[in-house]
Structure 1
């Protein structure tokens, strides 16, 4: 028998003797635990971690899996969030561009970037979301100039644009002349004309601005620090510091460059060139260059009359007055003569301006009336509109508006035919009354001047009430609104001045007569005079009441067309 078998037998014999008779369960568990602890090796990584020894296992397998899952969720939701933000921005920008295209249409044959920049440039003067209060003409001018450069570039949008002569024509002080664009389509030509006019308008607004070449920032010329400006205006709080004169140059091209580009381009219509000539002449009037302005007005009148035969010329070439027995003048001739007469009146030549305006007013009042759409014999009751907007035609129309691009508007009237006496012409007639009233009032016939101004206000207000909220008469409403606002202002100034002179005349005799004993009788006479309201004082009160009543019409704004309403309108 081996030694191991002997030891085993000895332990078996000793166990009953050592075993207690009635062992309790608690003692049995303690004893088993002690035996187990003796039989199992005590290794550090198998022991239970104790907080006091900081023996924690922070990164377990379950914790690893949880952290990986949390990182995955964070990454996934971050991607979702930025994807939603990006798609929302793209959707908003797309809807905005669709709305701008419908409000400021661009030729479809232009490239994407050219159309985008042209829309933004045309939207600029009407925007209400600029950072400052004033319109940012720097941005508008840069966009318009970039569009012009792209249209004149043969490699981008100017394929088919040719020089008038070999190598082009250079005009001293202005630059290159116009081009030959007769090979381009009418929408292309019209868009090019609108871009040039917009750039000219921006150049007029930036005529008194300079560019700081060191910082590429535009400032008003009155804020430049230098010898030519000894008293510079202060810079607004929070703006950049004022520029130095040696670091400044002209901020934008001169307006003459764009106006002459239009006048020398072959392919524009007579009306387009006439409008550019009138705008250029008005700019020369603003710059106080009357000699150059009158030449430009003559050029505009010759452009307006180039399609009229010499034997049918309706005005006298010496006095520019419309003849009584002459044919009805065209709209272009009426507009050019009105601008010319206004220029003469502005420069003090009232004796020449007044007969021209009176002959134009007489010609406008003799224009044919607007023909009614339905006669009394052929009138048919129109079908009532459907109560439900979800008809098949409305749905198809909406889908067509969403899918198909908006059509480019047809060309405007050429202006070579006589106008019709519609709402627009009546508003122009009110403006003529206003001009005549100013001239007559300035020529010492004050009562007649007030009467003409009062008639202009009545006519403009009447037309505004007749036009109502119609969206198709925005041009006429704008003209009538401007005429009504200016007429009320002129009427108020005329009545206030006449009322002041009336009060001074009434106060002069009472002051010279003096007062009686203790001033009692004089005070009572002055009190009676104050209670009597003069004629022009009453007129002044009437103007105030008319201004208050017309304020609702002047402040009436058309409902803003949202992008969705322009798309889904039926």
Structure 2
């Protein structure tokens, strides 16, 4: 067997040595293959040491990139959706809060109600450094235009005469809105009054037509203003006179629109006339203001026979034994007396105010039914907000739209001597105190002012926390009374110290270290003590004014109006 194997190896050895070696096939781009049937593809080649080639886009990497792009788009869409829903939710909650704070008529369109809410919110906004009356005026003007457009909100409006009435310097007169509902008419009135308020604030503003920017008229460069005021640092360049026009309509445009519109109540027209008269007083036009006050008084006396008018038509003094004056007459006479006092006609203003104060003090007391708590306080308050009634009421407030408030009193009947009227009495005391103090009756004027402060502070302690009108009236009266009282007492104390310094002899000492000065400082006068009392009352009143708002429970404070 071994011999056979040895002979086989010897026989095959020469054959193996005679054959040439077969070259190795390398999977490279430039390799020479024995057969050209198979194509040479770059991604199938084997990289060499000197030629660095790699496959960057593999199948797995493609799938990974597609998934990453998909996830990126997916999470980006989620983020934008969350942000969008958050903004929409915040905006919806804000509009709900504004609707409850500044209600709008439900029959108006969505855009009109939205712009009206923003316009009414403008003067009360706390996120503005200062009130932007340009924005408020634009929104108010837009709301008025939509309400007067018969194709939008003004369906049913009628001109007073065919073709309307044009008033020189004012424009078109009002409309006949008697076909509209009371909420629509009230909302239209509020929009006009807000437009008039914006017009008063923008009376000295001009707009640059080339840049659509609003500037004070005192900064305009032109022949009519040879000494323009400088523009604040960082502001736009001062406008040229030829490029400027009035930024907003004149206030009388809105006031006369109210006074000439058929469908407004006598009280609404009277309030507009009083506001217009106050504006004329501010513009130093006393004669025109007096005519407007007379117009307001005639509006307040509508429906009263000439023989039953409770005031004298010449002196405007309320007569004793006459019928009880209405709320409108009392307000109109008070404003007229203030106008007389501002124009230094004290002999006429003081008797009018005294007669009004006497009439207010003789008003009937409110009945027990009228002085009771409102309907939302009929039940005993619960210590826990998580009662069934509180939960149901809160759900109703969140789900149901807020109801439009009822119409305010017409003011054609005499008022009752409730908390608000007592605060009006305190305001009258302030007026009388100022007039008497200015007419050299300083002690009497200070006494009237002190009485007004006492009455206003007393009413603030007794007020119902839900009686917002009376609370606001008493708050303003108390604040103004304390300021007047402090100024009066400070002036009298200063005069008292000067008089004492002139009458008391002083002894000269070395370096002024001792002497008669210490003796004078030790004896405080009457008005110095009064000044200290005013400071203490002011400190105490601040605590009252800060605690006026009743704390809300966690549940009832949601969307609280």
TM-score (norm. length: structure 1): 0.87
Question: Secondary structure, in 3 states, of the residue corresponding to 2:214?
Answer: strand
Any idea what SS the aligned residue of 1:496 has? helix
What is the match of residue 52 of structure 2? Answer: 54
Alignment equivalent of 1:302, drawn from 298, 315, 326: 298
2:521 counterpart (530, 536, 539): 530
CA distance in 2, matches of 1:451, 1:51: 109
SS of the aligned residue for 1:14 comes to: helix
Q: Which residue of 2 aligns with 1:353?
A: 349
Partner of 2:38: none
Q: Please name the residue that 1:401 is paired with.
A: 397
Structure 2: distance between partners of 1:563 and 1:151 = 39
Residues 60 and 249 of structure 1: is their aligned pair in 2 closer, same or farther, counting only changes over 3 Å?
same
Taking the aligned partners of 1:421 and 1:187, their CA distance within structure 2 comes to 29
Distance 1:386 1:561, change over 3 A: closer
The 8 Å contact of residues 506 and 515 in structure 2, kept in 1 or not, is answered as no
After TM superposition, give the deviation of residue 206 of structure 1 in Å. 0.4
Residue 40 of structure 1 and its aligned partner are, at CA, apart by 4.7
Residues 1:215 and 2:211 aligned together: yes
Query: Is the Cα contact below 8 Å between 2:47 and 2:53 reproduced in 1?
Result: yes
Higher helix content, 1 or 2 = 1
User: Residues 198 and 520 of structure 1: is their aligned pair in 2 closer, same or farther, counting only changes over 3 Å?
Assistant: closer
After the TM superposition, which residues 230-309 of structure 1 pair with which residues of structure 2 at under 5 Å, given as runs? 230-309=226-305
| Aligned-pair CA distance for 1:92 | 1.0
Q: CA deviation at 1:532?
A: 1.1
SS at match of 2:105: coil
SS at 1:109's partner residue? coil
CA distance in structure 2 between the aligned counterparts of 1:564 and 1:123, rounded to whole angstroms: 25
In structure 2, the residue matched to 1:321 is: 317
Following superposition, the deviation at residue 394 of structure 1 comes to 4.3
Equivalent-residue separation in structure 2 for 1:559 and 1:231 (angstroms): 53
Q: In the alignment, is residue 417 of structure 1 matched against residue 426 of structure 2? A: no
The CA distance in 2 between the partners of 1:237 and 1:66, in whole Å, is 56
The 1-side partners of 2:551 and 2:285 are apart by 41
Q: 1:244 Cα deviation (Å)?
A: 1.8
TM score, norm. by length of structure 2: 0.88
Deviation, structure 1 residue 557: 6.7
Bigger mean CA deviation after superposition, 162-171 or 361-370: 361-370
Distance 2:78 2:349 in 1: 71
Counterpart of 1:28 in structure 2 is: none
Shift in Å, 1:318? 1.3
SS at match of 2:223: coil
Deviation of 1:395 (Å) = 4.4
How far apart, CA to CA, are the structure 2 residues paired with 1:521 and 1:368?
A: 64
In the other structure, the counterpart of 1:95 is 93
Alpha-carbon contact 2:310-2:323 (below 8 Å) kept: yes
Which of residues 544, 548, 551 in structure 1 aligns to 2:542? 551
Question: Aligned partners of 1:340 and 1:13: how far apart in 2?
Answer: 146
C-alpha displacement at 1:149, in angstroms?
A: 0.5
SS at match of 2:303: coil
The verdict on how the C-alpha distance between 1:47 and 1:375 changes in structure 2, with shifts beyond 3 A counting, is closer
Q: After superposition, where does 1:57-206 map in structure 2 within 5 Å?
A: 57-130=55-128, 133-206=129-202
My pick for the range that moved more, 391-400 or 324-333, is 391-400
Partner deviation per Cα, 1:33-92 (whole Å, 9 max, x = no partner): xx9x95655333444435752211100011011001100000111111101111111111
CA separation in 2, counterparts of 1:375 and 1:439? 34
Q: Which of the residues 487, 500, 508 maps onto 1:493?
A: 487
Unaligned runs of 5+ in 1: 1-8, 19-34
Q: Distance in 2 between matches of 1:285 and 1:144?
A: 24
CA distance in 2, matches of 1:306, 1:457: 35
Match of 1:459 in 2: 455
State the Cα distance separating 1:386 from its structure 2 match. 5.8
Q: Structure 1 456/386 Cα, relative in aligned 2: closer, same or farther at 3 Å?
A: closer
Q: Which residue of 1 aligns with 2:471?
A: 477
Mapped partners of 1:423, 1:122: distance in 2: 28
In structure 1, distance between residues paired with 2:325 and 2:435 = 24
Measured at CA, do residues 521 and 193 of structure 1 come closer, stay the same or move farther in structure 2, by a change above 3 Å? closer
Cα distance in 1 for residues equivalent to 2:383 and 2:306: 58
Write the distance in 2 (CA, Å) between the matches of 1:483 and 1:412: 22
| Structure 1 residue 375: Cα displacement | 11
Q: CA separation in 2, counterparts of 1:431 and 1:398?
A: 38
Shifted more, 539-548 versus 87-96: the winner is 539-548
What is the rounded CA distance, in whole Å, between the counterparts of 2:9 and 2:327 in structure 1?
134
- Stretch of structure 1 that moved more, 553-562 or 188-197: 553-562
CA contact (8 A) 1:515 1:522 kept: no
Q: In 2, Cα distance between the equivalents of 1:559 and 1:52?
A: 86
Instruction: Quickly say closer, same or farther: Cα 1:375–1:498, change in 2 above 3 A.
Output: closer
Aligned partners of 2:124, 2:225: CA distance in 1, in Å? 33
Equivalenced residues, count: 535
Cα distance in 2 for partners of 1:301, 1:431 equals 20
- Per-residue CA deviation, residues 295-351 of structure 1 (Å, 9 max, x unaligned), is 100100010011223232111111111111112111101000000001001100101
